[in-house]
Structure 1
Amino acid sequence: MSMLDKLKGLLKGHEEQARQGVEKAGDAFDAKTGNKYQSQTDTVQQKLNEQIGGQEGEQRPPQP
């Protein structure tokens, strides 16, 4: 079992809270850096949200 699978297992049922945490952390990082890396931060936030489970209404592949 990979580390990503373990994290997904821990987050199961708390996806929305995890997304909020990702957004909050990204916003805090942007504030500390004066938005110097905002586009990169947004990309990382998007990728993390995809790994967490995607947004509402987005189709996800079935879990094995």
Structure 2
Amino acid sequence: MSGLDDITKKAQEFLGSDDVKNALKSEQAEDISDKVLDGVADTVNKVTGDKFKEQVDGARDAADKAIGTE
């Protein structure tokens, strides 16, 4: 196994731990993720002139469901 494989395996184990899962489902994570996701979506929509607004908003909503409490 290469060094990259070792790092990937350790990262997967870390991200799969109950502590990380619980932290990502916290109210604090929800607040922070909402701000970050809103900022990124707004920036992309501004740069693209809202040309891909529907797709950007869909991706933002999908990411929001994966992080936080809502």
Between Structure 1 and Structure 2, the one with more helix by share is 2
Structure 1 residue 53 displacement after superposition: 2.7
RMSD of aligned Cα (Å):
2.5
Within a 5 Å distance, the mapping from 1:44-59 to structure 2 comes to 44-55=59-70
Q: Distance in 1 between matches of 2:14 and 2:60?
A: 21
Equivalent residue for 2:35, pick from 20, 23, 26: 20
TM-score of the superposition, structure 2-length normalised? 0.60
> What letter matches 1:42 in structure 2?
D
Poorly superposed stretches of 4+, deviation over 3 Å: 10-13
Q: Matched residue pairs, number?
A: 53
Match in the other structure for 2:55:
40
Structure 1 residue 18 displacement after superposition: 1.2
Structure 1 residue 2 displacement after superposition: 6.8
Cα shift readout 1:4-47 (whole Å, capped 9, x = no counterpart): x47x9264543211111001100000000000000000100000
> What letter matches 2:54 in structure 1?
S
Runs of 5+ consecutive residues of structure 1 not aligned to the other structure: 56-64
Percent identity reads: 19
Greater C-alpha radius of gyration: 2
Runs of 5+ consecutive residues of structure 2 not aligned to the other structure: 1-12
